[in-house]
């Protein structure tokens, strides 16, 4: 039987369409709706920078004519362009016909063009003269001044000029906006006449462009933004990964052009010129009104004190009493936290306490993403300064966080911590922490070494832990801790082959163990007619794993999949009649990876750092770990899985690869809200 797959690129665009539905949903607070629109706009940028750029590279290679999901590449490029433009148009319509007018009713004004009231003229002109004009460098194009290299996603302007002394002489000029110039300026409250007014850079540039060209008459000016291929290639043979990466980062924003966003007013002759210079396909030219780089405004809601226009704040219970140490808390029993419903503070406190505790000997931790400002990284530095043996495996190739991780690597090394990096094509995506401590065993009156482990489904990022749903697992179990230590030995190169009792640690182990569990579920169903698999991941595109799920369906096993984003599995086919696929879109980004198997009544449940993508299961260092004990398993089933299957406010995949939305009834609440209420 020949199995079928859905396009991962079209599936990813479909996910963004579902996220955009949050911005359209008028039951969601207004400033949160604006934030969702900004997120989708940013996601589209990343889609073109990475996914679309990949397709273009494949097309130009002439080695293959099919995508990874067996779609003809030229048709797929056209289909992707059509869907992407539909989403962009929906964002534009939403902003200008819904969100911006609704904000104005709340006396919040987003002025994206130059149509501000006359009483703001003096303030805006002074602002431009003092804070913008001295910082920009207009370049008039000529034989000696060729078109400049436009940096990826930089807001730029092209102006049509006429020579004052020679009216028949017309030229073009280009202005790239430096990244340090704000894209939006808040009008002082007294000048704005007791309103919250924000003027966007585009309106200021259009209004005062003439000031930049004293010897020319500005006929008109137009905003544009170029999106480039930003994927980094670092050779496996590089002697110094960090130095090689630094070199790649300096040129990342000057890769091949893949998309051009232009003002809706821009004449076709100019847009064609820009497209020709940057080798942009016609179907990759997007006409945009107002700001194109919306993600620069995603924090606008945080600057405004309008609690009624935002999601209510979470009331998180204190988990650790003030006089209890983290170590005592973990020793009592294994602990499972569900972020952001549970605070991330215990993770931070554990590392901070370990850094100061004189009995702590070693700290080992993996870092994928943590942010520019990180109490965890500061604690690790303090631990090293306090004489602890600190080993940190920092993934330098965490996309778009490369520079942040390079900076942290240097800081850690400067205080004596051991810093290790993975190879370019074998990213370390595992989330692990291991602390060893010298403790007195009162029964035998001797000091012993006690280990404390932490495993998670999400990154060690306090910021992400407020908006991403993830599980944190704390344990002193000797088998867990020994396994974690062995994985660290593997990562630092002291052990090339390791055998673990509880954890799955490398790509081979993951595939092997997942195959065993799926095939066992099929055998169990054949014998007992009992079988159920529930998988929750961010992406499901690995063909081998999809084929196994098809085989489980053919074998009669009920398969429920909760896939937030990309999904290449097809439902409604003869080989997938027992498979349901759900997508969860809500206030929080569903981020945990959970693998559940009925196992003939002896349930098995694993938490993991790994999505079901070929890169995760074949080329990355990932860690999956079992959850033991009915209470903890039931907790994860209730809060992470069952609540989203056939549930309220869920999206269900159809056989045409679109999704049905099961909307809330009048008095119903979302599953995420229910989790909040039950804690």
At 581 the three-state DSSP class reads strand
Decide if pLDDT at 495 tops 70.
yes
* Sign of the four-CA dihedral 394, 400, 404, 407: positive
pLDDT tens for residues 334-343?
999 999 999 9
Decide if pLDDT at 69 tops 80.
yes
Question: Residue 41, Cβ neighbours under 10 Å: how many?
Answer: 26
- Per the structure block, which two tokens stand in for 570? 């097809």
Decide if pLDDT at 247 tops 80.
no
- Per the structure block, which two tokens stand in for 246? 């630094």
At 624 the three-state DSSP class reads strand
pLDDT tens for residues 96-154?
999 999 999 999 999 998 889 899 999 999 999 999 999 999 999 998 899 999 999 99
Measured between alpha carbons, how far is 412 from 370 in angstroms, rounded to an integer? 14
At 244 the three-state DSSP class reads helix
| Strand ranges across the sheet with 650-653 | 624-626, 604-608, 593-597, 532-537, 558-563, 579-583, 650-653, 659-662
* Sign of the four-CA dihedral 181, 148, 54, 288: positive
Least Cα distance to 541 among 576, 570, 562, 566 occurs for: 566
* pLDDT reported for residue 52: 95
pLDDT class for 664, splitting at 50, 70, 90?
confident
Ramachandran quadrant class, 649 (left: phi over 0; alpha: psi -120 to 50; beta: rest) = left
**109 within 8 A of 198, measured Cβ to Cβ:** yes
Q: What percent of the chain has pLDDT over 70?
A: 97
* pLDDT reported for residue 63: 59
- Per the structure block, which two tokens stand in for 610? 């790994």
Decide if pLDDT at 552 tops 80.
yes
Count CA atoms closer than 13 A to 405's CA, side-chain side. Answer: 29
* pLDDT reported for residue 258: 97
Measured between alpha carbons, how far is 26 from 38 in angstroms, rounded to an integer? 16
Residues 522-526 have a mean pLDDT of 97
At 397 the three-state DSSP class reads coil
In sequence order, the β-bridge partners of residue 448 are 439
122: exposed, middle or buried (C-beta count within 10 Å: 0-12, 13-18, 19+)?
exposed
Beta strands in 588-632 (DSSP E): 589-590, 593-597, 604-608, 624-626
Which residues are annotated as catalytic?
429
pLDDT class for 424, splitting at 50, 70, 90?
low
Measured between alpha carbons, how far is 197 from 192 in angstroms, rounded to an integer? 6
* pLDDT reported for residue 166: 83
Cite the DSSP H helix spans in 565-666. Answer: 614-618, 630-636
pLDDT tens for residues 619-659?
999 999 999 999 999 999 999 999 999 778 889 999 999 99
In sequence order, the β-bridge partners of residue 338 are 471
First to last CA, the chain: 47
Residues 218-235 have a mean pLDDT of 88
524: exposed, middle or buried (C-beta count within 10 Å: 0-12, 13-18, 19+)?
buried
- Percentages (nearest 5) of helix, strand, coil residues in the chain: 40, 25, 35
- Per the structure block, which two tokens stand in for 240? 């110094």
Question: Residue 619, Cβ neighbours under 10 Å: how many?
Answer: 15
**209 within 8 A of 123, measured Cβ to Cβ:** no
Least Cα distance to 335 among 469, 458, 474, 460 occurs for: 474
* pLDDT reported for residue 301: 77
Decide if pLDDT at 244 tops 70.
no
Question: Residue 257, Cβ neighbours under 10 Å: how many?
Answer: 23
**Higher-confidence residue: 72 or 165?**
72
Residues 458-464 have a mean pLDDT of 95
In sequence order, the β-bridge partners of residue 650 are 662
Question: Residue 293, Cβ neighbours under 10 Å: how many?
Answer: 20
pLDDT class for 434, splitting at 50, 70, 90?
very high
Decide if pLDDT at 559 tops 90.
yes
Average pLDDT, the chain: 93
Q: Which residue has the tokens 């104005």?
A: 104
- Per the structure block, which two tokens stand in for 170? 């017309």
pLDDT tens for residues 172-189?
999 999 999 999 999 998
Question: Residue 21, Cβ neighbours under 10 Å: how many?
Answer: 18
Domains and CATH numbers, the chain: 326-492 (3.30.870.10), 507-677 (3.30.870.10)
**Higher-confidence residue: 667 or 330?**
330
The pTM of this model reads: 0.94
Phi and psi (nearest 5°) for 301?
-60, -35
**Higher-confidence residue: 634 or 165?**
634
Task: Give the per-residue SS3 of 432-447.
Answer: EEEEEEEEEECCCCEE
pLDDT class for 497, splitting at 50, 70, 90?
confident
In sequence order, the β-bridge partners of residue 162 are 170, 217
* pLDDT reported for residue 470: 98
* pLDDT reported for residue 64: 58
Count CA atoms closer than 13 A to 404's CA, side-chain side. Answer: 15
Count CA atoms closer than 13 A to 375's CA, side-chain side. Answer: 13
Measured between alpha carbons, how far is 541 from 70 in angstroms, rounded to an integer? 12
pLDDT tens for residues 593-627?
999 999 999 999 999 999 999 999 999 999 999 99
DSSP sequence for 521-565: HHHHHHHHS--EEEEEES-B--HHHHHHHHHHHHTT-EEEEEESS
579-583/558-563 β-pairing: parallel
Residues 227-244 have a mean pLDDT of 71
- Per the structure block, which two tokens stand in for 288? 């945009």
Decide if pLDDT at 237 tops 60.
no
Q: Which residue has the tokens 């396994």?
A: 483
* pLDDT reported for residue 245: 67
Residues 280-305 have a mean pLDDT of 87
Q: What percent of the chain has pLDDT over 90?
A: 79
């Amino acid at each position: 039987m020949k199995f079928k797959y859905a396009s991962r690129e079209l599936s990813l665009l479909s996910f963004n369409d579902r996220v955009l539905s949050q911005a359209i949903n008028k039951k969601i607070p207004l400033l949160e709706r604006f934030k969702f629109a900004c997120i989708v706009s940013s996601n589209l940028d990343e889609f073109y920078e990475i996914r679309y750029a990949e397709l273009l590279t494949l097309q130009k290679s002439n080695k293959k004519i099919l995508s990874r999901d067996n779609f003809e590449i030229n048709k797929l490029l056209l289909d992707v362009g059509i869907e992407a433009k539909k989403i962009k148009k929906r964002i534009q319509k939403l902003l200008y016909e819904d969100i911006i007018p609704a904000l104005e009713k709340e006396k919040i004004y987003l002025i994206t063009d130059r149509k501000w009231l006359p009483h703001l003229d003096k303030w805006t002109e002074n602002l431009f003269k003092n804070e913008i004009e001295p910082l920009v460098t207009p370049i008039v194009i000529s034989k000696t001044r060729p078109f400049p290299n436009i940096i990826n996603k930089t807001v730029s302007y092209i102006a049509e000029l006429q020579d004052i002394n020679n009216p028949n002489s017309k030229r073009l000029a280009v202005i790239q906006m430096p990244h340090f110039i704000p894209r939006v300026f808040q009008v002082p409250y007294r000048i704005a006449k007791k309103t919250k007014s924000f003027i966007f850079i585009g309106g200021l540039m259009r209004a005062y462009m003439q000031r930049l060209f004293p010897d020319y008459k500005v006929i008109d000016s137009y905003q544009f933004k170029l999106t480039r291929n930003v994927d980094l290639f670092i050779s496996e043979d590089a002697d110094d990964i960090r130095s090689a990466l630094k070199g790649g980062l300096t040129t990342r924003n000057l890769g091949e052009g893949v998309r051009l966003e232009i003002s809706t007013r821009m004449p076709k002759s100019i847009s064609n010129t820009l497209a020709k210079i940057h080798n942009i396909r016609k179907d990759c030219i997007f006409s945009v009104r107002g700001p194109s780089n919306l993600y620069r405004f995603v924090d606008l809601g945080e600057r405004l004190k309008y609690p009624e226009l935002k999601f209510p704040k979470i009331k998180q219970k204190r988990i650790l009493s003030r006089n209890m140490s983290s170590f005592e808390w973990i020793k009592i029993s294994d602990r499972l936290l569900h972020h952001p419903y549970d605070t991330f503070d215990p993770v931070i406190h554990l590392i901070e306490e370990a850094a100061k505790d004189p009995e702590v000997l070693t700290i080992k931790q993996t870092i994928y993403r943590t942010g520019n400002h990180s109490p965890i990284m500061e604690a690790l530095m303090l631990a090293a300064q306090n004489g602890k043996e600190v080993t940190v495996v920092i993934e330098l190739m965490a996309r778009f966080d490369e520079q942040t991780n390079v900076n942290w690597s240097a800081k850690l090394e400067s205080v004596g911590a051991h810093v290790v990096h993975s190879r370019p094509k074998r990213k370390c995506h595992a989330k692990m922490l291991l602390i060893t401590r010298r403790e007195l065993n009162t029964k035998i009156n001797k000091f012993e070494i006690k280990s404390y482990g932490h495993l998670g489904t999400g990154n060690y990022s306090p910021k992400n832990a407020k908006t991403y749903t993830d599980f944190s697992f704390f344990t002193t179990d000797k088998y867990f801790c020994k396994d974690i230590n062995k994985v660290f030995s593997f990562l630092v190169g002291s052990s090339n082959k390791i055998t673990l009792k509880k954890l799955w640690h490398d790509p081979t182990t993951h595939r092997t163990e997942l195959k065993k569990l799926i095939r066992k579920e099929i055998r169990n169903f054949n014998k007992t007619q009992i079988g159920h698999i529930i998988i929750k991941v961010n992406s499901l595109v690995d063909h081998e794993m999809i084929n196994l799920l098809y085989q489980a369906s053919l074998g009669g096993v009920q398969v429920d999949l909760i896939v937030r984003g990309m999904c290449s599995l097809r439902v409604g086919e003869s080989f997938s009649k027992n498979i349901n696929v759900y997508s969860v879109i809500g206030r929080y980004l569903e981020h945990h990876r959970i693998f559940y198997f009925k196992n003939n009544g002896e349930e098995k449940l694993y938490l993991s750092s790994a999505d079901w993508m070929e890169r995760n299961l074949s080329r990355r260092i990932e860690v999956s770990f079992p959850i033991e004990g009915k209470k903890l398993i039931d907790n994860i089933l209730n809060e992470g899985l069952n609540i989203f299957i056939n549930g309220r406010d869920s999206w269900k995949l159809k056989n045409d690869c679109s999704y049905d939305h099961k909307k809330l009834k009048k008095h119903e609440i979302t599953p995420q809200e229910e989790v909040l209420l039950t804690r």
